[in-house]
A and B are shown apart, each in its own frame.
Chain A
Amino acid sequence: DTAVSQTPKYLVTQMGNDKSIKCEQNLGHDTMYWYKQDSKKFLKIMFSYNNKELIINETVPNRFSPKSPDKAHLNLHINSLELGDSAVYFCASSRGGVAQHFGDGTRLSIL
């Protein structure tokens, strides 16, 4: 009965590949987010969707493309992976804005 679940937990891949991370929430929230946490634990928002509509799109390379098929799901597709993309990617959800529930992250390592 995990509230916000992400798959996969670990992703190890070669530079130049394309990969996707999936996120699902069962809290009935209307807003979902993607965050990136770097090696120094700095957590930065990338995107947010409200009722399947993109509402936050920070300065992120267009190799990153979020997709929300419905309110409970938000996926992140990354094209042409680069070494600098290595990080932990967190999905979160909320009803409204500030009290966000996070998943346990996807650890992406680029070889």
Chain B
Amino acid sequence: QKEVEQDPGPLSVPEGAIVSLNCTYSNSAFQYFMWYRQYSRKGPELLMYTYSSGNKEDGRFTAQVDKSSKYISLFIRDSQPSDSATYLCAWAVSSNTGKLIFGQGTTLQVKP
């Protein structure tokens, strides 16, 4: 079983839609959970970062972590064409080593 599973998409939605992106993981040692956004021909940029179960909100973005189910989600409200990118979930066992395990990424297209 892969350590991280993420639906690669592509996912296409109309502008204004609510988008749900999901990842599952198998390693119970993961303690830190992140979402990165990667535009075409650019490096990943950190969107959200949390280390606890529950929800964390930042503007139109909400990250949800369920450690008991080993499941994390990213919700995007009122999606915009500028949100079109690949979204990568990532995990770390600790904050010290910096070893991140990434999902494969979900490609999102928001159509005007």
Q: Is the interface of A mostly helix, strand, loop or mixed?
A: strand
Contact-residue bracket for chain B: 20 to 34
Chain B residues contacting A94 (CB-CB under 8 Å) are 98
- Cα-based distance from A33 to B100 in the complex (angstroms): 10
Complex contact B104–A102 (CB within 8 A): no
Complex contact B105–A97 (CB within 8 A): no
| A54 to B: closest C-beta gap in Å | 12
| A82 to B: closest C-beta gap in Å | 23
Residue with the greatest number of chain A CB neighbours at <10 A, chosen from B32, B43, B86, B100: B43
Complex contact A98–B100 (CB within 8 A): yes
- Cα-based distance from A40 to B86 in the complex (angstroms): 11
Complex contact A42–B102 (CB within 8 A): yes
Complex contact B49–A97 (CB within 8 A): no
CB contact between A55 and one of B38, B46, B97 (< 8 Å): that residue: B97
Complex contact A104–B100 (CB within 8 A): no
Q: Say if the beta carbon of A7 comes within 8 Å of chain B.
A: no
- Cα-based distance from A97 to B92 in the complex (angstroms): 9
Q: Which residues of chain A from 80 to 111 have a CB within 8 Å of any chain B CB? A: 90, 92, 94, 96-105
Chain A residues contacting B34 (CB-CB under 8 Å) are 98-99
- Cα-based distance from A44 to B3 in the complex (angstroms): 12
| A4 to B: closest C-beta gap in Å | 7
Chain B residues contacting A43 (CB-CB under 8 Å) are 44, 88, 102, 105
A100-B46, A105-B41 are known contacts; what are 20 more A-B pairs with Cβ within 8 Å?
A: A41-B8, A41-B38, A41-B88, A42-B102, A43-B102, A43-B105, A44-B102, A56-B97, A56-B99, A96-B98, A97-B92, A97-B94, A99-B34, A100-B98, A100-B100, A101-B45, A102-B44, A103-B43, A104-B43, A105-B42
17 of the cross-chain contacts (CB-CB < 8 Å) are: A4-B43, A40-B8, A41-B38, A41-B88, A48-B98, A48-B99, A50-B98, A56-B97, A92-B43, A96-B95, A96-B98, A97-B94, A97-B97, A97-B98, A99-B34, A99-B46, A104-B41
